[in-house]
C-alpha cells in the first residue's frame, strides 16, 4: 500500500482515491517481476503451438480447431496467472490492510482485476494476429477472434478473480482454483468459439458478440460484489 | 415465532427432531419405492419405439431432477447461512453435497447406460448430458473448496458464495450448452425428443420422483444427525447422550 496516500479515504468514494493508484501499483510490481505475467503468455503460446504438432500440420484441419484451441489455451493461461492475484498481497499482509482501510472493497477488487486484465488479457489480444497466422485462420476468423477475446477475457479475469479470492488462504490453491472456475467459464468458451467458427464460414456474428457483451455486462456488475464478499470471508488475517 | 425458529435451529433440538422424523420419512420412502418400481417395471407397458429399455427412465429422470433440486436447495441453505448465520443451514448444505453429487453421478451413469442401446454409444455430447456433467463439476468444486480451507467457518462461508455464484450461472450454462449443441450436432438423436408421455408411464415416474425426494430427506436427516454429533462432540448434551448409552 506504499503508493496509496493514507488520508485519501476521508474524501469519500472517489475513483482516483484508490482505483488508479492501486492499478498503478500492481503494474509497477509487475514490471519488477516480469516473469509473473510473461510466463502465462509463454505458456499460452507454447500450448497453442503444440496442437499443430499433435494433430498434424494440415491447414484446413488447423483452421477448423483454431478457435477452440486458442480459447482453451487462453482460459488455462488466465487460470495460471490468477493464482497469484491476491496471494502475494495476502501473504505479506497488504490485503488485510486494504480490507480494513476505509476504501470500498469493490473498488479495490475492480482495481486488482483491471490490472490483472491489462497484464494477461490485453497481451492475449495483441498476440491474436500471430496465433491466427499459426493456426491458419482467415482474416474474418481472426477479426472474430479479436472481438471475442476483447469481450471475453475481462469475463475470464473476473471469474478467475472470484476463484482466487475464494482460495486465497489455501496453500497451493492453483489446481483448486481451476476446478472452481473452469465450469463457470464454459458459456464464454461456447459463445466465443462458435462466433469464430461462424465468421470463418462467412456468416454474421453480431448475435454471438451481443451475447458475449451481455455476459460481460452481467459479470462486470455482479462479480465484483461476489469477489468482495469472498475476500471479506477469506482474506482477513492468516 | 422467533423463539421457535431459534429453538428449531439449535443443533440439540434438531438432533432430536430429525430422529423423530426419520421413520416418518424412511417408511413411506420404502413403500413408494416398492410401488413405483412395481408399476414402472411390471405394470407399465413397453415403449413403442424403445421397447423395454426405456424403463431406466424411472431411475434416470428422478435422479436428474434431484440433482438440480439438491443444488438449488443447497443454495437456499447458503443464503440462510450467510444472512442469518444459522448454524443448521451449514450442516444441512454440507450434508447435502455428497448426496446431490451422487444423484448427479447416477443420472449420468443411467443416461449413458440408456444411451448405449438407444444411440449406439455410451456417451453423446447431448446438451442435457453435458449440463449434467458440468453440474457434477460444480458439486465437486463445492466439496473441494470446503475441504481445502482449514477453518470450518471460513470454509463454509467461502463455499456458500461459490454456491450462490453457481446458482446464478447454472441457467446461463444450461442455455449456452443447449445452444452450442443445436449449432454443432443437428438432430442426430431426434427420437430423444420427449413425446407426450402416456399416463400409464407417467404415474410410476411421479411415484418414483416422490420416492427419490423422500430418500434424499431420509439420508439427509441421518447425515445431519451424524454431522451434529460430530460437531457438538465437546458439548454436555452429546456427552450425556453417549454416557447414557442412548447411542
A234 contacts B137? CB cut-off 8 A: no
- Tell me the Ramachandran region of residue B197: left when phi exceeds 0, alpha when psi lies from -120 to 50, beta otherwise: beta
- A8/B164: higher pLDDT: B164
Any A CB within 8 A of B11 CB: no
Any A CB within 8 A of B134 CB: yes
Any A CB within 8 A of B157 CB: yes
Residue A163 cell numbers, joined: 476463484
- B228/B44: higher pLDDT: B228
B164 contacts A183? CB cut-off 8 A: no
- Bridge partners of residue B51, in order along the sequence: B47
What is the chain B residue with the closest CA to A223?
A: B165
CB-CB: which of A170, A180, A191 is closest to B141?
A: A180
What is the C-alpha to C-alpha distance for residues A174 and A79, in angstroms, rounded to an integer?
8
Instruction: Please state, for a pLDDT cut of 90, what percent of chain B lies above it.
Output: 34
User: What is the model's pLDDT at position B98?
Assistant: 95
Any B CB within 8 A of A229 CB: yes
Residue B146 cell numbers, joined: 470446503
Tell me how far the alpha carbon of residue A236 is from its chain's centroid.
Answer: 24
Positive or negative: CA dihedral A44, A46, A50, A51: positive
User: What is the model's pLDDT at position A15?
Assistant: 57
Average pLDDT over residues A52-72: 88
Residue B9 cell numbers, joined: 435451529
The pLDDT confidence band at residue B210, using thresholds 50, 70 and 90, is very high
Q: A28 to chain B nearest CA, in Å?
A: 30
CB-CB: which of A166, A194, A233 is closest to B183?
A: A194
Task: Using alpha carbons, select from B77, B74, B84, B67 the residue that is nearest to residue B128.
Answer: B67
User: What is the model's pLDDT at position A7?
Assistant: 46
- Bridge partners of residue B48, in order along the sequence: none
Which residue out of B138, B142, B169, B181 would a mutagenesis test of the A interface target, given it has the greatest number of A Cβ atoms within 10 Å? B169
> In whole angstroms, how large is the CA radius of gyration of chain A?
19
The answer on pLDDT for B175 being more than 50 is yes
Tell me how far the alpha carbon of residue A51 is from its chain's centroid.
Answer: 22
With residue B112 as reference, give the H or E element that holds it. helix B87-119
How do residues A111-137 score in pLDDT, each as one tens digit? 999 999 999 999 999 998 998 888 888
User: What is the model's pLDDT at position B54?
Assistant: 78
CB-CB: which of B141, B145, B168 is closest to A222?
A: B168
The answer on pLDDT for A1 being more than 70 is no
User: What is the model's pLDDT at position A136?
Assistant: 85
The answer on pLDDT for B213 being more than 90 is yes
User: What is the model's pLDDT at position A236?
Assistant: 65
Q: B164 to chain A nearest CA, in Å?
A: 9
User: What is the model's pLDDT at position B247?
Assistant: 61
| DSSP state letter for A56 | -
Positive or negative: CA dihedral A45, A49, A50, A55: positive
How far the first Cα of chain A sits from its last, in Å, is 18
The answer on pLDDT for B244 being more than 90 is no
What is the C-alpha to C-alpha distance for residues B193 and A2, in angstroms, rounded to an integer?
62
Average pLDDT of chain A is 86
Average pLDDT over residues A214-220: 93
Any A CB within 8 A of B148 CB: yes
The answer on pLDDT for B62 being more than 50 is yes
B145 contacts A166? CB cut-off 8 A: yes
Which residue out of B127, B153, B156, B176 would a mutagenesis test of the A interface target, given it has the greatest number of A Cβ atoms within 10 Å? B176
The answer on pLDDT for B233 being more than 80 is yes
Average pLDDT over residues A214-221: 93
Any A CB within 8 A of B155 CB: no
Output the DSSP codes for B83-110. HH--HHHHHHHHHHHHHHHHHHHHHHHH
**Around B239, how many Cα atoms within 13 Å sit in the side-chain half-sphere?**
3
Domain boundaries, chain B: 21-220
The answer on pLDDT for B245 being more than 80 is no
Burial class (CB in 10 A: 0-12, 13-18, 19+), A29: middle
The answer on pLDDT for B140 being more than 90 is yes
Q: Are B13 and B19 in contact (CB under 8 A)?
A: no
What is the C-alpha to C-alpha distance for residues B190 and B9, in angstroms, rounded to an integer?
49
Any A CB within 8 A of B154 CB: yes
| DSSP state letter for B47 | B
Average pLDDT of chain B is 84
The answer on pLDDT for A22 being more than 70 is yes
Average pLDDT over residues B14-31: 90
- A15/A56: higher pLDDT: A56
Residues of A in contact with B81 (CB under 8 A): none
Any B CB within 8 A of A213 CB: no
The pLDDT confidence band at residue B189, using thresholds 50, 70 and 90, is very low
Any A CB within 8 A of B161 CB: yes
CB-CB: which of A176, A187, A194 is closest to B173?
A: A187
Output the DSSP codes for B160-212. HHHHHHHHHHHHHHHHHHHHHHHHHSTTTTGGGS-PPPPHHHHHHHHHHHHHH
What is the C-alpha to C-alpha distance for residues B85 and B96, in angstroms, rounded to an integer?
18
Average pLDDT over residues B119-133: 79
Instruction: Please state, for a pLDDT cut of 70, what percent of chain B lies above it.
Output: 89
The answer on pLDDT for B184 being more than 60 is no
Of the listed ranges A16-20, A191-195, B165-169, B232-236, the one predicted with least confidence: A16-20
3-state secondary structure of A233: helix
Q: Which residues, numbered 172 to 191 in chain A, qualify as contacts with chain B under a Cβ-Cβ cut-off of 8 Å?
A: 173, 176, 179-180, 182-184, 186-187, 190-191
The answer on pLDDT for A190 being more than 80 is yes
CB-CB: which of B140, B161, B173 is closest to A166?
A: B161
Amino acid at each position: 500500500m506504499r503508493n496509496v496516500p493514507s488520508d485519501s479515504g476521508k474524501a469519500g468514494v472517489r475513483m482516483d482515491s484508490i482505483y488508479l493508484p492501486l492499478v498503478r501499483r500492481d503494474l509497477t510490481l509487475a514490471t519488477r517481476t516480469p516473469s509473473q505475467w510473461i510466463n502465462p503468455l509463454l505458456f499460452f503460446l507454447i500450448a497453442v503451438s503444440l496442437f499443430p504438432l499433435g494433430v498434424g500440420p494440415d491447414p484446413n484441419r488447423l483452421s477448423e480447431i483454431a478457435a477452440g484451441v486458442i480459447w482453451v489455451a487462453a482460459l488455462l493461461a488466465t487460470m495460471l496467472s490468477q493464482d497469484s492475484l491476491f496471494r502475494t498481497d495476502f501473504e505479506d499482509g497488504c490485503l488485510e490492510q486494504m480490507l480494513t482501510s476505509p476504501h470500498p472493497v469493490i473498488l479495490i477488487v475492480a482495481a486488482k482485476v483491471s490490472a490483472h486484465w491489462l497484464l494477461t488479457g490485453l497481451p492475449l489480444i495483441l498476440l491474436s494476429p500471430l496465433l491466427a497466422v499459426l493456426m491458419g485462420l482467415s482474416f474474418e476468423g481472426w477479426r472474430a477472434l479479436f472481438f471475442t477475446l476483447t469481450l471475453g477475457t475481462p469475463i475470464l479475469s473476473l471469474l478467475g478473480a472470484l476463484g482466487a479470492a475464494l482460495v486465497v488462504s489455501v496453500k497451493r490453491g492453483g489446481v483448486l482454483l481451476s476446478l472452481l472456475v473452469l465450469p463457470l467459464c464454459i458459456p464464454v468458451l461456447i459463445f466465443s468459439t462458435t462466433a469464430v467458427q461462424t465468421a470463418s464460414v462467412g456468416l454474421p456474428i453480431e448475435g454471438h458478440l451481443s451475447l458475449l457483451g451481455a455476459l460481460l455486462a452481467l459479470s462486470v456488475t455482479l462479480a465484483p460484489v461476489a469477489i468482495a464478499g469472498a475476500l471479506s470471508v477469506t482474506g482477513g488475517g492468516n | 415465532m422467533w423463539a421457535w425458529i431459534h429453538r428449531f435451529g439449535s443443533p440439540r433440538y434438531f438432533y432430536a427432531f430429525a430422529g423423530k422424523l426419520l421413520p416418518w420419512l424412511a417408511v413411506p420412502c420404502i413403500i413408494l419405492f416398492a410401488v413405483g418400481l412395481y408399476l414402472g417395471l411390471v405394470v407399465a407397458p413397453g415403449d413403442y419405439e424403445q421397447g423395454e429399455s426405456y424403463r431406466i427412465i424411472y431411475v434416470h429422470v428422478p435422479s436428474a431432477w434431484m440433482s438440480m433440486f439438491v443444488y438449488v436447495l443447497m443454495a437456499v441453505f447458503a443464503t440462510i447461512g450467510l444472512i442469518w448465520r444459522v448454524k443448521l443451514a451449514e450442516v444441512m448444505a454440507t450434508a447435502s453435497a455428497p448426496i446431490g453429487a451422487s444423484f448427479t453421478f447416477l443420472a449420468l451413469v443411467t443416461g449413458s447406460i440408456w444411451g448405449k442401446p438407444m444411440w449406439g454409444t455410451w456417451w453423446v455430447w447431448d446438451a442435457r448430458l453435458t449440463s449434467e456433467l458440468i453440474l457434477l463439476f460444480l458439486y465437486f468444486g463445492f466439496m473441494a473448496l470446503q475441504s481445502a480451507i482449514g477453518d470450518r467457518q471460513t470454509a463454509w462461508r467461502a463455499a456458500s458464495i461459490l454456491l450462490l455464484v453457481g446458482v446464478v450461472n447454472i441457467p446461463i450454462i444450461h442455455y449456452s450448452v443447449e445452444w452450442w449443441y443445436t449449432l454443432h450436432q443437428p438432430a442426430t438423436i431426434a427420437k430423444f425428443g420427449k413425446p407426450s408421455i402416456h399416463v400409464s408411464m407417467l404415474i410410476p415416474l411421479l411415484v418414483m420422483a416422490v420416492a427419490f425426494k423422500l430418500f434424499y430427506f431420509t439420508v439427509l436427516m441421518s447425515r445431519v444427525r451424524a454431522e451434529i454429533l460430530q460437531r457438538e462432540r465437546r458439548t454436555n448434551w452429546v456427552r450425556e447422550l453417549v454416557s447414557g448409552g442412548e447411542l
